[in-house]
Amino acid sequence: MLHYLKLIRAGNLIFIALTMFLIKYGLFEPFGVAITLNLFGFSMLVLAVVCVAASGYVINDIYDIPADLENKPSRAIINHHISEKTAYRLFFILNIIGVGLGFYLSNMIGKPGFSAFFILGSAALYIYNSQLQQTVLVGNILVSLIVGLIPVGVGLYDLLPAITPQNQQTQSVIFSILIDYSIFAFLVNLLREIIKDQEDIDGDYNAGYKTLPITLGKKRTNRILLILGLAPLIFLIYYIYQYLFENIAAVVYALFLLVAPLLFFLVNIWTAEKKSEYTRLSLILKFVLFFGLISIGLLQFILL
């Protein structure tokens, strides 16, 4: 059982579910916005997203078997603890559940076209792992877009169908907050995807992947990461100045848990060379992503 939990990245899935519930009960409910889904319906939405994400992790490990044998031989799961055939079955089951629930929910809220959100997400994860890992940056951007779209996805299913001429302004303000969080999640996750390529450069090279570090080398990739890392930092500083400046607690939270780690990342990425250094920087970015997204639940104490 433990190996299955590791295969589907149970910790990451819990984080996705937590983020979605924080959006509904830490943002929508305190601000009294009109919503579409009750607890049961929303739980199905969370389960659908989690299943599609889990299927993405499974197919990733299936296609990463050659690279994982070199990059993390002690942590390889497929063909060690779980057979490749079983992993494929799990991938298809998770996809059927995720896309099926997404289709059902889309029709339930009267927006059947929204089922494309799940169909395209599932297809994109498969295409990324089967083909785009050999294309420079495209796979990194695609995965980061999927991560970034999670907050917007909650808005599409829970906010958008409940918009009326009377509440349009309020709904639009809340939706714009979700877009801001989506942009931040995309930027930070893009950095992390490239950092993971730096970590795994040896195994990826032997597996025939065409990642940014393999194409440009570690030093040039570090410089690109430095430039890209300025984007979420500037975004945060602007956000603090524009919206949080009068709330001391919010400013302290953002400075210590988001800005400071990003500055640490920028200072250290310039000289990073060893796998252990990239692993530490990847952890820093995961830290930033975590505290950035859970701050959704704290907005009620800042804005109300």
- Single out the residue of 213, 189, 66, 196 nearest to residue 136, CA to CA: 213
Higher pLDDT, 247 or 93: 93
How does residue 81 score in pLDDT terms, banded at 50, 70 and 90?
confident
Length of the chain measured in residues: 304
Mean pLDDT, the chain, rounded, equals: 89
How many other CB atoms sit within 10 Å of the CB of residue 240? 18
Lowest mean pLDDT among 67-71, 148-152, 175-179: 67-71
Percentage of the residues of the chain whose pLDDT score is greater than 70: 96
Query: Which whole-number Å values give the CA distances from 23 to 106, 139, 264, 281, in the listed order?
Result: 19, 27, 28, 27
pLDDT in the model for residue 232? 95
User: Coil, strand, or helix at residue 78?
Assistant: strand
Mean pLDDT in residue range 201-222: 86
pLDDT at 132 over 70: no
Residue 129 pLDDT > 80: no
**Mean pLDDT, range 229-251, rounded to an integer:** 90
This prediction has a pTM of: 0.91
Q: How confident is the model at residue 304 (pLDDT cuts 50, 70, 90)?
A: low
What pLDDT does 127 receive? 82
* Average pLDDT, integer, range 217-228: 94
Separation CA 32–CA 11 (nearest Å): 30
Residues 6+ apart with CB under 8 A from 93: none
Min mean pLDDT across 131-140, 152-161, 294-303 is at: 131-140
For residue range 254-297, what is the model confidence (pLDDT) as tens digits? 999 999 999 999 999 999 999 999 999 999 999 999 999 999 98
Residue 74: band (very low, low, confident or very high) from pLDDT cuts 50, 70, 90: low
Cβ atoms within 10 Å of 11's Cβ, excluding its own? 9
Q: Predicted confidence band at 68 (pLDDT cuts at 50, 70, 90)?
A: low
- Cα 38 to Cα 33, 43, 53: the distances in Å are 13, 8, 23
Q: Where does the pLDDT of residue 228 fall: very low under 50, low under 70, confident under 90, or very high at 90 and above?
A: very high
Residues whose CB is less than 8 angstroms from the CB of residue 78 and which lie 6 or more positions away in sequence, other chains included = 7, 61, 62, 65, 68, 84, 87
Contact, 42 vs 158, CB < 8 A? Answer: yes
How far is the CA of 62 from the CAs of 8, 67, 99, 118, in angstroms?
12, 10, 20, 21
Between residues 267 and 244, which one has the greater pLDDT? 267
Assess whether pLDDT exceeds 80 at residue 172.
yes
Q: How far apart are CA 57 and CA 37, in angstroms?
A: 27
pLDDT at 75 over 90: no
Quote the CA–CA distance of 134 and 139 in Å, as a whole number.
8
Region 68-89: what's the mean pLDDT? 79
Domain range list for the chain: 2-230
Terminal alpha carbon distance of the chain: 44
pLDDT in tens, 2-56: 888 888 889 999 999 999 999 999 999 998 899 999 999 999 999 999 999 999 8
Instruction: Point out the least confidently predicted range of 60-74, 91-105, 160-174.
Output: 60-74
Given a cut of 80, whether residue 165 has pLDDT beyond it is yes
Is residue 221's pLDDT more than 80?
A: yes
